[in-house]
Structure 1
Amino acid sequence: MRLGWYSDLNKQEKRTYWACFGGFTLDSMDSTIYALMMPVLMTVLALSKSDAGLLGSVSLIGSAIGGWGAGMLADRYGRIKVMQATVLWVATFTCMAGFCNGFWSFLPVRFLQGIGYGGEAVVGAVLISEAIKPALRGRVAASVQSGYAVGYAISLTVMPVVFAFLPEDIAWRAFFAIGLLPALLIWFIRRLVPESEAFQQVSKQSRKIDLRVIFGGEHRRITLISTILASGIFGAAYIMITWLPTYMRTVLNLPIASTSGYLAVNIIGSLIGPFVYGLISDYISRGRAFMLFLICQTLVVSVYMFAPVNMTVVLALGLLLGGFQGGLASGLPLAFSELYPTQIRANGAGFCTSFGRGFGSIMPAAVGFASTEMSLPVAMGIFAVSSYLIAFIAAMCLPNATGVDLSDHPASVVNEPSPTEAALKKTPAVFR
């Protein structure tokens, strides 16, 4: 029985796929617990909207630092070792959140959790981009990112169970503690996955950590465009991820059970979106796929936040919102990985993805502060649409390196021609 592109993967590619998918899923489960618990924490610990927004943003700032740092370490010590460390890191600090008692104790824990999550997301994306054959890379790499939706679904499913058996002031602590369990499973899964061949072929003498190389020569323009693109996409996505549960509870006045149902539809969309984006991007290029999804998502968010719609329409919009959001986020690490040579691939992709997260992380806090002067949905809509506009402009300038054979450049050094040079020369005018 053939299962589409999955049947075309060899044994090693399948192992790498499931390791990366599992890691991203379980880290997502841990990271989304906070968003689900935010309304509870605002009640139990008397956190303000501004406090909640800052805690959401500080985790994303940690994610920016962790993603770039883990990327450089992965270029030096290997993809697999760094992935294992980041998964354990996320699980540990998720569990520690259950012992916090207020804003100031949550602040460092959220920051440290973000470091691990950002690192795992970047290194996993680079590994899968190097392990999968070029013709299928877009579909496979994007589908790994759908693990975010699976992880979100797991935490959303577990939440009402925990709260059904424990009082609220204890249940939220137990919910965070559950985040420690997945690390045990993923640690052993990843021991079965071999290191990237492209990484292994780079000589040990060339494995240096150089912070400056992605800002020099041909790489400077790529780094700037990619970081702006990621900032716009993540900024809008984090607004929805951070504030949507609160919007449903406080604006739509939905109870926890109903909120879970509406969020489940959003999660289904997030699961489907990466598969659709990956398929489209393999055929029309990463940049054009970004632009198409950004236009569609802007329309969906505008209707969702500004138009008077009934709950049935909200349900349908939630599916589209999750789909376009998941698709956009899924394409970033892969697109960036294709633009850098092996020696600095994780460094470059890590910086662009992670600092995009970091710059985008101001958006949840901005919405929190703005919502004191305007309604929450208006604040969410204004900042989200602005972020999508910034991302669209960057996507128009993104060089086209779709499907470049990364295995052809395993030993490239930063002073020699890389896939990016060829991509820039053959890129259509709209991308240049």
Structure 2
Amino acid sequence: MFTWYKRGTPIERRTFWGCFAGWGLDALDVQMFTLAIPAIIAAYGIDHTQAGAISAVTLISSALGGWLAGALSDKFGRVRTLQITILWFSAFTFLCAFAQTFPQLLVLKALQGFGFGGEWAAGAVLMAETIRPENRGKAMGAVQSAWAVGWGGAVLLYAAAFTWLPADTAWRVMFGVGLLPAILVLYVRRNLREPARIASDSNEPKVSMWRQVTQVFQPRVLKTTIIGAVLGTGAHGGYYAIMTWLPTFLSKERHLSVLNTGGYLAVVIIAFWCGCMASAYLLDRIGRRRNVALFAFCCIVTVLAYVMLPLSNLQMLVLGFPLGFFAAGIPASLGALFNELYPAEMRGTGVGFCYNFGRIASAGFPVLVGYMSHSMSLGSAIGIDAAIAYGLAMVAVLLLPETRGKLLRPTSPEQALEPINDAELALNRARSQR
């Protein structure tokens, strides 16, 4: 499983750790809000629908930020864009700690989202162009597992803050810690390098920013873009329907204390990490399409059982593992798949659009869960919304071509100097056609 890492070049390993840390710190910042929802509701006197609106606005802004950052990475470089987005989301997460009113928090969370979405887009393309084709799925799936690491850090911070501090102070302290990711920029500047550009890129005329952003709607890639956007919608819709409201479901409907809620979440988080690693292995083993379809189907079955069956607390604890495991498989697959669908000159834009359009469309799912919970249990609302979303993802991925082993150029600077023999080229073509 980890042989690829041992055999990787120094720049491959440094890029892996830079993106791993960035994605983990993203998760720390984002998951703090989902954990703090009950305290924020109490602090501002808002209802579930308004709390869901904060999540929705953040998702929409992160989608726009990811699309824009993807285009910027095509125009100005992957590494430079990565640095800007890290600084952006760190600064606005920190400022959320000082929001005095609900509208202020809404605006600051929206601005945070721009950087959050952009960081993933720039980092995903940087990884895809740096890692060798035969290891791309394993490496990018492993990077996605950093979300579980950051999520776990958020739960530990949540448990400590709400145990030792008053609720209205605790959630502000959590957001204040969100400034920490800015330190990562120092590592990125010193250790990561821009992937080599292929020769043909330098001879192409420069395009305007508007054309750069909209080139994924060209006729030759329009079908891919539409299906990719639907896939992103299903993947994100299911995930956010579950994870935005899971802490509230456990505390309000299952009546678990702060520490017991943290215990249940710990099982889901550990399972999420395991699911990412399993998906990383399967991506290069059975292919992108089969892997996404498999995990989507398992997600539907598991989430419906988790929130709708009359389970005991122990049974919920046990079922929390497959819930987190299967929820991880789809997002762990999207980075490799979307990068392999587009040519180099629009790769960042394509990845940023498909992955992040899903965030815009899926922004309605947390709001819808909150709205539906007025007429049914919160658990039922979560289950229905998540099942619809994952069903959409399963259908969409089967309409895309299999891209496993597809050769991407440019790659890392060291690999760019290596000749590609006919046998290697034929092998990669055969894999991509399976």
Provide the TM-score with structure 1 as the length reference. 0.92
**Which residue pairs with 1:377 in the alignment?**
379
Query: Equivalences for 1:10-409 in 2 at 5 Å?
Result: 10-198=9-197, 202-203=201-202, 205-208=204-207, 209=209, 210=211, 211-407=213-409
**Residue type of the partner of 2:137?**
G
1:202 offset after TM fit, Å? Answer: 2.8
What is the identity, as a one-letter code, of the residue corresponding to 1:64? A
> Once superposed, which parts of structure 1, at least 4 consecutive aligned residues long, lie more than 6 Å away?
408-411, 422-426
What is the deviation of 1:149?
A: 0.7
* The 10-residue stretch of structure 1 (43-52 or 70-79) with the greater mean CA deviation from structure 2: 43-52
Question: Could you tell me which residue of structure 1 aligns to residue 420 of structure 2?
Answer: none
2: CA distance, partners of 1:332 / 1:132? 16
Separation of aligned partners in 1, 2:346 and 2:39: 43
Deviations 1:400-428, CA, capped at 9 Å, x for gaps: 121211027999xxxxxxx9xx9899756
**C-alpha distance in 1, partners of 2:199/2:157?**
40
**Residue 371 of structure 1: how far off its partner (Å):** 0.7
- Residue 66 of structure 1 deviates from its aligned partner by 0.4
Question: Which AA in structure 2 matches 1:393?
Answer: V
8 A contact 1:232–1:360 mirrored in 2: yes
CA deviation after TM superposition for structure 1 residue 207, in Å: 4.8
| Distance in 1, Cα, partners of 2:79 & 2:299 | 34
Question: Cα gap change, 1:291/1:423 in structure 2, threshold over 3 Å: closer, same or farther?
Answer: farther
Structure 1 counterpart SS, 2:284: helix
- What is the one-letter code of the residue matched to 1:54? A
Cα distance in 2 between the residues matched to 1:46 and 1:11 = 52
**Partner amino acid, structure 1, of 2:380:** V
Q: Which amino acid aligns with 2:57?
A: V
Deviates more, 1:43-52 or 1:55-64: 43-52
C-alpha contact 1:341 1:409 (8 A) present in aligned 2:
no
Q: Cα deviations across residues 84-124 of structure 1 (Å, max 9, x unaligned)?
A: 11111111111111111232111111111111111001111
Q: What is the match of residue 414 of structure 1?
A: none
Q: Which amino acid letter does the alignment assign opposite residue 31 of structure 2? A: T
Higher mean C-alpha displacement, 161-170 vs 126-135: 161-170
Q: Relative to 1, partners in 2 of residues 1:426 and 1:41: Cα closer, same or farther, differing over 3 Å?
A: closer
Amino acid at match of 1:61: I
Question: Structure 2 length as normaliser, TM-score?
Answer: 0.92
How many residues of Structure 1 are paired with residues of Structure 2 in the alignment? 418
- Over aligned residue pairs, what C-alpha RMSD do you find? 2.2
CA distance in 2, matches of 1:424, 1:221: 23
CA displacement at 1:167 relative to structure 2:
2.1
Q: What is the DSSP-based 3-state SS (H/G/I as helix, E as strand, rest coil) of the residue aligned with 2:409?
A: helix
- 2:195/2:411 contact within 8 Å kept: no
Kept after mapping to 1: 8 A contact 2:28/2:178: yes
Kept in 2, the 8 Å contact 1:87–1:183? The answer is: yes
8 Å CA contact 1:225–1:398 kept in 2: the answer is: yes
Unpaired runs of 5+ in structure 2? Answer: 417-424
Q: Against the structure 1 CA distance between its residues 135 and 207, is the aligned structure 2 distance closer, same or farther, given a 3 Å change threshold?
A: farther
TM-superposed CA distance for 1:23, in Å, is: 0.6
Relative distance call for 1:100 and 1:217 in structure 2 (3 A) is same
Secondary structure of 2:245 counterpart: helix
**Which amino acid in structure 1 is aligned with residue 343 of structure 2?**
P
